[in-house]
Amino acid sequence: MKRIRKDSRLTFVELPPTQFGVLNGPGGFDIYSHAKLPSRAIPTLRAVMIEDGYSNTHELNPKYHGEGGKLTAKNMGDIFSSDILFLSAITRTAKQTMTLADLYRLNNQGGIIVAGGPDPTFRSDEWLNHVDIVVRGEGEATLRDLATVLSQDPSQLESVRGIQYNRKGEQVRTEPRPLLTETELGQMPHPVFDPVTRKKISTGAIELTRGCPHNCDYCAVTSMYGNVYRRKPIKWVLEEMNQVNGLGKRTFVVDDNVAPGGHKDIERLETMAEKGDKGNTKVAQITVYVARSEKLMEALRKIGVDSLCVGIESLSDETLKDLGKSSDASMNRWAIPRFRERGFFVHGMMMLGGNGDTPESLRETEEWANRNLDSVQYFTPVPIPGTRFRHRMKEEGRVLTEDWALYDAQHVLLRPVNFTPIGLQERIEEMYGSFYSIKNLKNRLRNSSRKKTTIVLSMLALSGGLKKIFNNPQSVAHKEFLRSIS
């Protein structure tokens, strides 16, 4: 493995979802297809390299740097000429990212390929058939140490904690790297957004915390970031708020659980409201437990949060227990109207097809969601690599496919207990149609705090959005597969 220099070309790439996981194929269709957000990890990792003196760093996201969401010939040339190619991937983008890695290897025999993110972390053995090094877990400190070793003596890779790499035909996994402390998170540089990204994104992003105090069986957050809740220092947060304000029309708080609800969280949010520039209105992800604290809800409003993404998951206690959720159905039913009464737009995220779900319970869920949510995502349970849920589903023989491009929570991937696979898929599509129908629009508008957004979402769904999601070639092919095994 060759040594790198401070002027070596370092290219960071994050690819979008595509149908069938084909590199430069037709885009995947879901609610996220319309969101023009920056890459989550790359701007921070690139900032680390710039701070360490690497002067030739580049970010490449086909949504912004390509054409029509695809890599151009120039993009490919820039990638192939890079001394190091850094790839960030989640499970649903793994196939096309591995293909890009293989193409890079064909065109640059001496280049170095490094992969990171949730999927490379949990499927590192497979990734090392395509790349040279996998960064496992959080990347900032590991990448810094890795670059230092590659610039001084690449034969000493075993000294870098938190990586796995190929050496003489064998895979070597080094000592795990501890999670960054709150102090260390505050010492990291702020993300760097290049001019093209700044111009083209519609929604900015900010990270205030990492980890989650809950440890749900199906969720990879705690496997990746721990179930230790780490708050970034308030000084860092205030600086970052000032940087992202004006970046897009709104700001998405990317934290998987922005505020567990303690006094420390309320004080932090109030300090942010008092000393920071509130700037863009914000969307935040929270749990139903936030509804128990009037002060916490008020503090969220003070920093500009007007929309909440809430992981409700289910109205069935049996399903919630099976998923390892700590909340119960009665808490879910109580919390959601409370959020809306406080003026929040509530985007409910619900997982359908759990062990406690029956045709009758899904009818009840449909009626409840139609009355109580501003917008909805109906997920199918996904056996994501790295989770206890996947391990259990594999042991029970219920995983139907490992076509990773389908791991987007829109496609039935597990054999349900009380439905046929195709029956559950079709029922979910029916529930989407019911929720976003003209008939139900009146229910949603009645208590919505963002009526224009409510109308726009329904128009998008009814003018072909749902058809694109459920009747694109990938979805049609998967439904044929589900019929064949039902």
132-191: per-residue pLDDT in tens?
Answer: 999 999 999 999 999 999 999 999 999 999 999 999 889 999 999 999 999 999 999 999
- Mean predicted lDDT score pLDDT of the chain: 94
Q: What average pLDDT does range 278-289 have in this prediction?
A: 90
Q: Which of 96, 116, 123 is nearest to 16 (CA)?
A: 96
Residue 365 confidence class, pLDDT cut points 50, 70, 90 = very high
Give the C-alpha separation, 249 to 241, whole Å: 14
CB 363 within 8 A of CB 398: no
Mean pLDDT of 299-320: 94
* pLDDT, mean of residues 259-286: 87
- Distances in Å between the Cα of 376 and the Cα atoms of 46, 57, 218 are 34, 39, 19
The confidence band for 324, taking pLDDT boundaries of 50, 70 and 90, is: confident
> Which pLDDT value is given to residue 282?
94
Looking at residue 256, its pLDDT comes to 85
Domains present along the chain, CATH in parentheses:
10-173 (3.40.50.2300), 192-485 (3.80.30.20)
Q: Rank 211-225, 235-249, 372-386 by mean pLDDT and report only the highest.
A: 372-386
Q: What percentage of the chain reaches a pLDDT higher than 70? A: 99
Q: Any idea which of 73-77, 277-281, 335-339 has the lowest mean pLDDT?
A: 277-281
pLDDT, tens digit (0-9, with 9 covering 90-100), for 101-119: 999 999 999 999 999 999 9
pLDDT of amino acid 35: 78
Write down the pLDDT at residue 462: 85
Listed in order, strand segments (DSSP E) in 57-202 are: 57-60, 84-88, 112-116, 133-135, 163-167, 170-173
Lookup: tokens for 224: 């990746």
Which pLDDT score, from 0 to 100, does residue 327 have? 87
pTM beyond cutoff 0.75: yes
Please say if the pLDDT value at position 417 is more than 80. yes
Closest CA to 397 of 485, 479, 321: 485
Q: State how far the alpha carbon of 344 is from the alpha carbons of 222, 337, 451, in Å.
A: 27, 10, 12
- Torsion sign over Cα 445, 450, 452, 453: negative
Higher-confidence residue of 369 and 447: namely 369
Q: How far apart are the first and last CA of the chain?
A: 50
Asked if 72 and 66 touch (Cβ cutoff 8 Å), the reply is: yes
More confident residue, 56 or 442: 56
Whose CA is closest to 406, among 6, 11, 95, 166? Answer: 95
Q: How many CB atoms lie within 10 A of CB 125?
A: 11
Determine the distance from the C-alpha atom of residue 31 to the mean position of all C-alpha atoms in its chain, rounded to a whole number. Answer: 12
- Cα–Cα distance for residue pair 126/120, rounded to 1 Å: 8
Q: Answer yes or no: is pLDDT of 276 > 80.
A: no
